[in-house]
Amino acid sequence: MNKLCLLSFVIGLVSQSAWAETAVKPASNASTLQAKNAFIANLMKQMTLDEKIGQLRLISIGPEMPKSEIVKEIAAGRIGGTFNSVLLPDNRAMQDAAVKQSRTKIPMFFAYDVVHGQRTIFPISLGLASTWDMNAVTRAGRVSAIEAAADGVDMTFAPMVDITRDARWGRSSEGFGEDTYLVSRLSATMTRAFQGTSTQAPNSIMAAVKHFALYGAVEGGRDYNTVDMSPVRMQQDYLPPYRAAIDAGAGGVMVALNAINGVPSTSNAWLLQDVLRRDWGFKGVTVSDHGAIKELIDHGVAKDFREAAKLAIKAGVDLSMNDKAYGEELPALVKSGEVSVQEVDNAVREVLGAKWEMGLFANPYLRIGAAVDDPADRNAENRLHRAEARDVARRSVVLLKNENDTLPLKKQGTIAVIGPLAKSSVDMLGSWSAAGLARQTVSAYDGLANAVGDKARLLYAPGTNITDNQEAIAYLDKMEDQIHIDGRPEQDMIDEAVKVAGQSDVVVAVVGESRNMSHEAASRVDLVLPGRQRDLIKALKATGKPLVIVLMNGRPLALGEENKQADAMVESWFLGTEGGNALADVLFGDYNPSGKLPMTFPRSVGQVPAYYNHLNTGRPYRPNDSNYTSNYFEEPTSPLFPFGYGLSYTQFSVSDIVLSINKMTRNDKLTATVQVKNTGKVAGETVVQLYLRDIAASLSRPVKELKNFQKIMLKPGEEKAVTFTLTEEDLKFFNPSLKYAAEAGDFKLMIGLDSEDVKEASFALQ
């Protein structure tokens, strides 16, 4: 962008079509960075304090403010960006108000929660994590960005990378699970996929990683609750995924709603300045979560709205999401000198910087386009990416049990499809389904019907309601959509299902949670199948027909009973637009399942927090020696399904580990190799996982930690060598003084196909 153009932009003489010709390249080199900084400095010189404060306001399109008022506010220079609008004409009208009517002509930006898809919905994040397949996740992120950009969206509030080890938390569904390494890889992958080659590209959107920080560790899994955590655990386990997004170039960070050790993230200068900017070198924009500045009053750190605004801006919250704190309070705070102009300027600079990086100064209509190009039908089929969604979705499915090769099913005979979720397409979308539509989404039943055509007969019965807890229904009905309730007595529904099962060769029971049960503000006190679904499963088992349980849910469930009843059991999460078809691919063996659990499945809710990489304790749990050891006495302390677990329709063997060296210096590279063989009858993929344990260190280290993995495809009988390379970097951890270093001593190295079933070898760092 040349100087003349910048100038004409600032004084508002550039026509809309001229914007397109002035596209800037990313500020990747010193001269573009200089140009960006000079442009913003020049622009800020011409802004009044009120206009600056206006840039810090991010407003939701919704009931809070009617569209007409938003447009007026934008024209008056009092709004910097909006979120929740994906209608091109609406965004265009708002952008017109900004660049044609406001005095400064500063473009707006438009944000949205594009978490696992925009119009084509991919599996929920926990499902994406189950693929352990970075190519698949890249496809999901890229398609999401392309579709969102085509809807005029510039920024997404994603990826959501909160580590969570407590399945009671409803937002487990939005994250990538419990493991630092896996979540960090996914965090970087998703960020790159959203942002593409440049955040300034018309088909890219800027990623704002969330929720910074530690939101997944809320006490008791109760949403918005307190987080109290040791500095070592924070640095070692919970902070790396946010950093991974930032290292991958994420342009934004969303600040979490929770307090950390008593200090809310929103007023946490240590978090937002020392960690984020000083230690990690973050150069982008920070945005509060919804209404979070005002919530500083309820947190008990601000006595009123004025103090809340003051704390947030001083801590380093640049954009205020959907509350009036900055707009109403900052003018007086600056006037009284309690907040300096420089503090406001710092935030404004980041907001304008983000707009530059999103390519909006070069072309405010970069993603909105011209009215003539608007799609006649924004929900047109040809705007969807069904093939990509189906392929990613089937990779997300985890096979939990398969006795006597019950699966894959044959496309013949009579199949009973039973369960409250069997015909639900809205639940298939999962929470945060952006602009995805239930009517364009394939239910489990429809997917199976598509697959069998006229080769087999399908029978259906709902079997039971998703829950019979009236208080829970009333609560959940306030979110997204209402829970469908069949008015008949539950027992009548179970009886009907048993009858239908009796007429069939095999039963497929689609059970689990409604999507709003795994949602923001949807924490559970129990993890078993809700309502009468457990009774339904028992009744179906009693028919003696082979029973396949298909789970749809957004968190690990406690499935001890179901695991006993089922002949085969499949975890499908919420698979998105092509869910039913993807599920059918797996159930009929057109795709051999390869997903692996990204979260431990406990036996009971009492086991949570349940995670594989725990410390050993002084009295570790031993399955055959429970006396005065760390355990629960009512049932085994081990999980039902461990982290990294997932079966296939074939079998794999893993050889003993061969290490290149047993003693490693700090400059050495150590390789660990295993031979993995497909010993079964069909081709399949599996995930070979590498874990490490530091035997004795300056603080207690986890019993194992994932350090790497490879997903490989093997034909029947085929064998491949899988080699991992380790350097000193892989052995580092935060010691009690928070120094990140590797300590000399013995290590155990483990390789296997889940976190429990591993081969072991030993080496030492000298």
Question: 133: which residues sit within 8 A by CB, 6+ positions away?
Answer: 395, 594, 711
Write the burial class of residue 380 (CB in 10 Å: 0-12 exposed, 13-18 middle, 19+ buried): exposed
Cα separation, 205 vs 198, whole angstroms: 9
Cβ contacts of 629-638, under 8 Å, gap ≥ 24: 632/604, 632/606, 632/607, 634/604, 635/560, 635/603, 635/604, 636/603, 637/607, 638/603, 638/756
Closer of 178 and 295 to ligand BGC (Cβ): 295
Q: What are the structure tokens assigned to 614, written together?
A: 């725990």
Cα separation, 692 vs 726, whole angstroms: 10
Return the exposure string of 576-613: e unless at least 16 CB atoms fall within 10 Å of the residue's CB, then b.
bbbbbbbbbbbbbeebbbbbbbbbbbbbbbebbbbbbb
Residue 635: CB minimum distance to ligand BGC, A: 35
3-state SS assignment for residue 20: helix
Q: What's the number of CA atoms in the CB half-sphere (13 Å) around residue 623? A: 2
Phi and psi at 551, nearest 5°, equal -100, 135
Question: Greatest CA separation found in the chain?
Answer: 81
Cα separation, 230 vs 117, whole angstroms: 35
Among 73, 113, 513, 730, binds ligand BGC (CB under 6 A): 113
Among 73, 162, 520, 562, binds ligand BGC (CB under 6 A): 520
| Active-site choice (289, 323, 391, 694) | 289
3-state SS assignment for residue 435: coil
Site residue total, ligand BGC (CB under 6 A): 6
In the bound state, the residue with its beta carbon closest to ligand BGC is: 157
Closer of 1 and 155 to ligand BGC (Cβ): 155
Active-site annotation holds for 228: no
324 is a site residue for ligand BGC (CB under 6 A): no
210 is a site residue for ligand BGC (CB under 6 A): yes
Closer of 287 and 753 to ligand BGC (Cβ): 287
Among 147, 151, 289, 730, binds ligand BGC (CB under 6 A): 289
391 is a site residue for ligand BGC (CB under 6 A): no
Closer of 434 and 687 to ligand BGC (Cβ): 434
Residue 520: CB minimum distance to ligand BGC, A: 6
Question: 115: which residues sit within 8 A by CB, 6+ positions away?
Answer: 124, 125, 156, 157, 158, 159, 160, 174, 432, 434
Q: Are strands 652-654 and 658-659 parallel, antiparallel or unpaired?
A: unpaired
Q: What are the structure tokens assigned to 148, written together?
A: 């969102």
How many other β-carbons are positioned within 10 Å of the β-carbon of residue 737? 9
x/- string (CB under 6 A) for ligand BGC, residues 327-366? ----------------------------------------
Among 222, 283, 290, 378, binds ligand BGC (CB under 6 A): 290
157 is a site residue for ligand BGC (CB under 6 A): yes
Closer of 224 and 645 to ligand BGC (Cβ): 224
How many other β-carbons are positioned within 10 Å of the β-carbon of residue 492? 11
Closer of 321 and 575 to ligand BGC (Cβ): 321
Cα separation, 578 vs 588, whole angstroms: 16
Cα separation, 241 vs 211, whole angstroms: 11
Considering only CA atoms, which of 359, 360, 291 is closest in space to residue 319? 291
Cα separation, 93 vs 91, whole angstroms: 5
Residue 289: CB minimum distance to ligand BGC, A: 5
3-state SS assignment for residue 54: helix
Residue 157: CB minimum distance to ligand BGC, A: 4
Residue 726: CB minimum distance to ligand BGC, A: 36
Structure-token match 């801006």, residue found = 313
720 is a site residue for ligand BGC (CB under 6 A): no
Given the rule CB under 6 A, which residues bind ligand BGC? Answer: 113, 157, 210, 289-290, 520
Residues that are catalytic: 289
